[in-house]
A and B are shown apart, each in its own frame.
Chain A
Amino acid sequence: MTVSHPELVARVEQARRDGDWSPVTGALPYARFLGLDAGLYEGELRTRLRFSPPLVGNTSIPALHGGTLAALLECAAIFQLLAEMETVVLPKTINVTVDYMRSGRAVDTWAKATVARLGRRVASVHAVAWQEDRRVEVASATGHFLVLGRGEEP
């Protein structure tokens, strides 16, 4: 399935209105590959990585591959930006730093991102990931994203 930018923009605008981000995540092949979805839970936008055996990096624990947690956190940051920006520009990742606190076990993982600063050109976003217990962070990330075109003439 190929989704054009205008269609993706329409889906983001719809998701902002009704809080259901599945039409957005469903349009992103890599999100489908990982098993990512996003939606409003307890009044906040959360991204979920549904556990599946292909996400495992270490079979002896077993533990999620570090790359899947990085992807979850980066996606959560981008969805949060898409939710908060007044226009739809696709944020481009400048960099992401991921801190791994504990191994991700073989269960679903949740992430919540917070926009620390939304500037004219760049946004700084922090995201945390947890599993059963929100207070126990599995990993966190800080990322910088180019948001060129936000509120400017195209």
Chain B
Amino acid sequence: MSTPTPPSKSQVLAVMTHAFRDGVPHNAALGLELVDVGPGEGHATMRLPYAEALVGDPATGVLHGGAISSLIDATCGAAVFMKLARPLAIATLDLRIDYLKPATPGLAVLARAETIKLTRNVGFVRALAYHEDPADPIAAAAATFMIGTRGTSVAQRATPPRSAETEHGGQGGGAT
């Protein structure tokens, strides 16, 4: 049996774009879009389009922190998937976000997350949210994820299952 060729970055992006949008109803509700992935490298970038429905302060039109939280949570989860050798269900264990400056009304927000360490049980992630320049961030985040939790992974929901190993119990959490 020959070793399967790893999928190309564009193939991974296409599959994960579909999985993270159509497989995660809240990502779709926010209009979240996966714009870059680093398969094997453990990084991902997602985009939150500006929408009036997501405004937190009606007098200024600034997006609510909660929408940024969802963007960052989703992006951190995607970054963990990009570090996993095979699709496993994951769940957010904790998420800390520093809000560095308000998002500018009318502009989309990007988040780039990187898995800085993956162990058998835990993924450690760092993320920045920004408009155009990561050096001028809106928010900075640190998150940890439990690996191999209950349920199926977002990737498995979008593609034929490759393993039945993800059905064991585990600590639940914010599902990604």
A residues near B, CB below 8 A?
1-5, 8, 27-34, 53-72, 74-75, 90, 92-104, 139
A93: contacting residue among B27, B55, B58, B65, CB under 8 A: B65
B34-74 interface code vs A (CB 8 A; 1 in, 0 out)? 00000000000000000011111111000111110111111
| Number of residues on chain B facing chain A (CB within 8 A) | 48
- A30 x B55 contact (CB < 8 A): yes
Known: A3-B59, A29-B53, A103-B172. A65 touches B70 (CB 8 A): yes
- Chain B residues with Cβ under 8 A from A66's Cβ? 70, 73, 77, 91-92, 95, 173-176
- B175 x A58 contact (CB < 8 A): yes
- Chain B residues with Cβ under 8 A from A57's Cβ? 24-27, 74, 174-176
- A65 x B65 contact (CB < 8 A): no
- Chain A residues with Cβ under 8 A from B54's Cβ? 29-30, 33
- B151 x A30 contact (CB < 8 A): no
- A34 x B173 contact (CB < 8 A): no
B residues near A, CB below 8 A?
23-29, 52-59, 63-67, 69-74, 77, 89, 91-99, 150-152, 154, 157, 171-176
B98 to chain A, nearest CB (A): 4
- B64 x A71 contact (CB < 8 A): yes
**Which of chain A's residues has its CB closest to B66's CB?**
A71
B174: contacting residue among A1, A30, A92, A100, CB under 8 A: A100
- A71 x B151 contact (CB < 8 A): no
- Chain A residues with Cβ under 8 A from B73's Cβ? 65-67, 70
A65: contacting residue among B53, B171, B176, CB under 8 A: B176
- Chain B residues with Cβ under 8 A from A75's Cβ? 66
- A59 x B25 contact (CB < 8 A): yes
Q: How far is the CA of A61 from the CA of B52 in the complex (A)?
A: 30
- Contacts A55-B29, A58-B151, A96-B65 known; list 12 others, CB within 8 Å: A8-B59, A54-B29, A60-B151, A64-B26, A67-B69, A67-B72, A67-B73, A68-B70, A92-B99, A98-B92, A100-B95, A139-B174
